[in-house]
Amino acid sequence: MKKIKTLIVDDEKLAREVVSRYLSEYDEFEIAGECSNGFEAIKLINEIKPDLIFLDVQMPKITGFEMLELIDEPPAIIFTTAFDQYAIKAFEVNAIDYLLKPFSEERFKDALDKAKLSIGNKSDLRDKLNKLKETDREKGERLERVVVKHNNNILIISVDEINYIEAQDDYVMLHTARGNFLKQKTMKWFEKNLDPENFIRLHRSYITRLDAVKQLELFEKESYRAILKDGAKIPVSKSGYQKLKEIMNG
């Protein structure tokens, strides 16, 4: 029987040991690796393609949720967390399951039973991951940084670095002083999660940081475009113009 390849991702050694010890009681599961941070985990997931990961939500460097944004082929996921709010968030977006630390062996078994029903259903797993990507910030928490994959590197972009965001099909392009970075997110998601005091959607395909705007200029009759401090010129819709005018009039 093919064993279920499992990866344990947690920055706490003791927490990894607990999962490993509980998992050793089940012959159908194979521990294929352990990682103490998200960077290691992304690399190992691409290499070994696990069927299931136990994923700590709060980790240094990048969080479990940020890590998932960079994975193309999603395995089944059981979140492990010491924080109720993150566990509830994961539950609300239909993650496979979550384990609130410290958890019992009985609760661990329940999570495994759920995971076994979902492993192999790539379509279902992808749907769940997409929901997670779109709904992981619904508590009024403002976005402070964006994690992107660029060539073979993982970069953390502060939102203060973003001059403007441009829609590109199912992706957006983040335009910053240190380069342009593609991110699989929607304009709607960014508009919802960025601080409206600092960012404005000037057009259906463009969001810009307010203090990156140098001036507005008349482009065509009753049509404006924004000139940014970095020299970029972006179109401004009628509604975007009205919003900007209200902000400028204070």
Q: What is the pTM of this model?
A: 0.83
pLDDT at 49 over 70: yes
Q: How confident is the model at residue 132 (pLDDT cuts 50, 70, 90)?
A: low
CA atoms within 13 A on the CB side of 195: 13
Tell me which of 74-78, 130-134, 160-164, 209-213 is least confident: 130-134
Check the CA dihedral 211-232-160-71 and report its sign: positive
Torsion angle in degrees (nearest 10) through CA of 53, 54, 59, 65: 60
pLDDT at 88: 66
pLDDT at 210: 95
Residue 119, SS3? Answer: coil
Domain ranges of the chain: 4-133, 145-249
Which residues does 5 contact at the CB level (< 8 Å), separation at least 6?
30, 32, 48, 49, 50, 51, 52
Percent residues over pLDDT 70 in the chain = 90
Q: How confident is the model at residue 95 (pLDDT cuts 50, 70, 90)?
A: low
Name the region of 104 (left: φ>0; alpha: ψ -120 to 50; beta: rest). beta
pLDDT at 128 over 60: yes
Mean pLDDT of 99-127: 86
pLDDT at 86 over 80: no
Cβ–Cβ under 8 Å, residues 164 and 175: yes
Question: 105-118 and 13-23 are packed helices; what angle lies between their axes, rounded to 10 degrees?
Answer: 70
pLDDT at 136 over 80: no
pLDDT at 33: 97
Q: What does each C-alpha distance from 234 to 116, 146, 196, 246 come to in angstroms?
A: 49, 22, 19, 19
pLDDT at 96: 63
pLDDT at 30 over 60: yes
Interval 193-221: pLDDT, tens: 999 999 999 999 999 999 999 998 988 87
240 sits in which H/E element: helix 238-249
Pairing label, strands 233-236, 199-203: unpaired
Fold (CATH) for 4-133: Rossmann fold (3.40.50)
CATH architecture for the domain at 145-249: Beta Barrel (2.40)
Residue 111, SS3? Answer: helix
Cβ–Cβ under 8 Å, residues 172 and 143: no
pLDDT at 134: 64
Cβ–Cβ under 8 Å, residues 8 and 50: no
pLDDT at 3: 93
Name the region of 189 (left: φ>0; alpha: ψ -120 to 50; beta: rest). alpha
Q: Phi and psi for 18 in degrees, rounded to 5?
A: -65, -50
Mean pLDDT of 244-248: 82
pLDDT at 126: 73
Tell me which of 110-114, 127-131, 212-216 is least confident: 127-131
